[in-house]
Amino acid sequence: MDKINSGYQLPYASFEIDPFILLAKNANSLAESSEACAELSLNVHDNTRTELIPNLPEDKTTFIVPVILAADSMSLALDAAVKARKSEEEALYAALTRAETLLERQQESARSLEEEIVSLNQQVETIRHNFTSAADSPVTVNSSSSEAKTLLSTLEKTYKKHNQLKSCREKITESQANIDYIRSRYNTASERLKALEEQLPLVKERLDSTREYFTAGAPQPDEEAPQEETAPARVKAARPAAQARGRIAATIWSYAKIILVAILLAFVVRVYVFDITRVDGLSMYPTLNDHDDLIHLKITYLFSEPQRGDIVVFDAPDAVGKDYVKRIIGLPNEQVTIERGQVYINGKRLNESYVDGAYTVGDINTVLPDGFYFVMGDNREISRDSRYDEVGLISIDRIHGKAVFRVFPFNDFGVIE
């Protein structure tokens, strides 16, 4: 995977964890903005108390509305900062949990591969011993030839398993680096949240004291007003305008909340539910055509495992920043064999109606480790897929989602079969 060095991001990109990090990053930005607003409001508040109170006239009711509105705005900024920090902390906790689960899965795959390699090495030693013994006897030439072929085949399997183990260990190293990063970010977010929660009651106490100071002695609605137009009368006359402004502000805020919720929902849908992918090439012909626009569901594999026959979108192992669209053929822990143009799963021939009887090029005989899938395009003659070392087996963390619907061209609009 590509290493990332910029800003609030994982050291190594991960499809399963990146959405949580993006959510935490956005929450952190909101928190920093809210904290800056709260700090500015507090400075204004303190300056107001320091400079305004000594110069107040005897009747201070004129200042009630602006002072209380200013105090309320600061309270809102502080509340927003606390909620944003909580959102950041929760997103990081979810990311940490997912990363640890992914690491455990990768470690289990590595252990499984190590056991397979040990078994294959033992087979190699046995075959070598038999081959050496057979070579000393001139009457067993055909047997020796068979042993030599078996030895080469077993050595090839061992080599592939070593490569898979190397790749798996690299992923384990990347996952551990991601976990260390997320844990550090989580601890920082928790400390900031704790500091805010400790600060909040102290600041609100100062704001309450300001409110009490300015509202103390304010005339009640049923008190008799003086005959002449005094300062309280002017305040009373100004209240309808202030109330109207308050209603306008409340209306604007209600619309702003609707817009913010809509943006948040759109973000959640795009990150967690579905996305649109364009097919590039004819590797999935006749099922899919070049430039078909597909909807692939991301949420599908959050609740279930990929199944044989699923058309999936995944990170191209041999082309950074590019996605491939292929069909899942082999599942974890299954034996996939391609022999004489046919595909076999655990020794049983696979019925593939989607290839329309096409010959499958390749000489494959491999057992898939846990968490890895064997994928191929329906157009077997030109598809670049798991048959080639540059692509190889596809791990679950590379799969973005399941392609389920074609939205363009319109004459092929509908569910993908």
For the segment 195-215, the average pLDDT, to the nearest whole number, is 71
> Does the pTM exceed 0.75?
no
Q: State both tokens at 109.
A: 């795959």
Pairwise pLDDT comparison (77 vs 230), residue with the higher score: 77
* Enzyme catalytic residues: 283, 326
Number of CB atoms found within 10 A of residue 6's CB: 5
208, part of any domain? yes
Q: How confident is the model at residue 328 (pLDDT cuts 50, 70, 90)?
A: very high
Pairwise pLDDT comparison (200 vs 219), residue with the higher score: 200
CA gap 118, 270 in Å, rounded: 44
361, part of any domain? yes
Domain boundary among the residues 193, 218, 243 is at 218
Residue 263 pLDDT = 58
For the segment 348-361, the average pLDDT, to the nearest whole number, is 87
Asked whether residue 185 falls in the same domain as residue 314, the answer is no
Backbone angles phi, psi at 409, to 5 degrees: -70, 155
Domain boundary among the residues 199, 218, 237 is at 218
Residue 150 pLDDT = 80
Cβ 405 vs Cβ 414: under 8 Å: yes
CA gap 232, 60 in Å, rounded: 9
Tell me how many domains the chain contains.
Answer: 2
Asked whether residue 49 falls in the same domain as residue 167, the answer is yes
Cβ 193 vs Cβ 89: under 8 Å: yes
CA gap 32, 17 in Å, rounded: 23
4, part of any domain? no
Asked whether residue 45 falls in the same domain as residue 165, the answer is yes
Helix, strand, or coil here: 415?
strand
* Mean of pLDDT over the chain: 78
Is the confidence at residue 339, as pLDDT, over 80? yes
For the segment 132-158, the average pLDDT, to the nearest whole number, is 68
262, part of any domain? no
Asked whether residue 198 falls in the same domain as residue 51, the answer is yes
Domain boundary among the residues 171, 197, 218 is at 218
Residue 376 pLDDT = 95
Encode burial over 386-406: b for 16+ CB neighbours within 10 A, e otherwise.
Answer: bbeeebbbbbbbbbbbbbeeb
Residue 335 pLDDT = 95
Query: Among 126-140, 198-212, 223-237, 324-338, whose mean pLDDT is lowest?
Result: 223-237
Query: Among 28-32, 120-124, 129-133, 170-174, whose mean pLDDT is lowest?
Result: 129-133
CA gap 248, 21 in Å, rounded: 37
Asked whether residue 116 falls in the same domain as residue 44, the answer is yes
Pairwise pLDDT comparison (362 vs 68), residue with the higher score: 362
Asked whether residue 176 falls in the same domain as residue 44, the answer is yes
Asked whether residue 172 falls in the same domain as residue 23, the answer is yes
Residue 218 pLDDT = 44
Cβ 281 vs Cβ 291: under 8 Å: no
Residue 57 pLDDT = 56
- For residue 366, give every residue at least 6 positions away whose Cβ sits within 8 Å of its Cβ, in sequence order, or none: 157, 160, 335, 336, 374
Q: How confident is the model at residue 62 (pLDDT cuts 50, 70, 90)?
A: low
Is the confidence at residue 2, as pLDDT, over 50? no
Residue 241 pLDDT = 52
Asked whether residue 75 falls in the same domain as residue 187, the answer is yes
Residue with tokens 């649109």: 276
336, part of any domain? yes
- For residue 149, give every residue at least 6 positions away whose Cβ sits within 8 Å of its Cβ, in sequence order, or none: none
Percent of the chain with pLDDT over 70: 70
For the segment 12-23, the average pLDDT, to the nearest whole number, is 82
Q: How confident is the model at residue 385 (pLDDT cuts 50, 70, 90)?
A: very high
Rg of the chain over all Cα atoms, to the nearest angstrom: 33
DSSP per-residue codes, 316-344: -TTSTT-EEEEEEEE-TT-EEEEETTEEE
Asked whether residue 209 falls in the same domain as residue 285, the answer is no
CATH number at residue 200: 1.10.287
Selection from 101, 105, 99, 86 nearest residue 183 by Cα:
99
235, part of any domain? no
Selection from 281, 317, 312, 329 nearest residue 400 by Cα:
312
Asked whether residue 288 falls in the same domain as residue 394, the answer is yes
Is the confidence at residue 224, as pLDDT, over 70? no
Asked whether residue 38 falls in the same domain as residue 114, the answer is yes
Residue 58 pLDDT = 56
Burial (Cβ within 10 Å: 0-12, 13-18, ≥19) of residue 55: exposed
Backbone angles phi, psi at 142, to 5 degrees: -60, -40
Residue 219 pLDDT = 43
Residue 227 pLDDT = 45
CATH number at residue 297: 2.10.109.10
Number of CB atoms found within 10 A of residue 74's CB: 23
Residue 17 pLDDT = 85
Asked whether residue 288 falls in the same domain as residue 194, the answer is no
Residue 222 pLDDT = 42
Question: What's the domain range around 376?
Answer: 279-415
Q: How confident is the model at residue 112 (pLDDT cuts 50, 70, 90)?
A: confident
Pairwise pLDDT comparison (331 vs 319), residue with the higher score: 331
CA gap 71, 122 in Å, rounded: 77
For the segment 246-269, the average pLDDT, to the nearest whole number, is 60
Is the confidence at residue 45, as pLDDT, over 70? no
261, part of any domain? no
Helix, strand, or coil here: 117?
helix
253, part of any domain? no
Is the confidence at residue 153, as pLDDT, over 80? yes
Reading phi first (left if > 0) and then psi (alpha if -120 to 50, else beta), residue 123 is in alpha
Residue with tokens 């090495």: 121
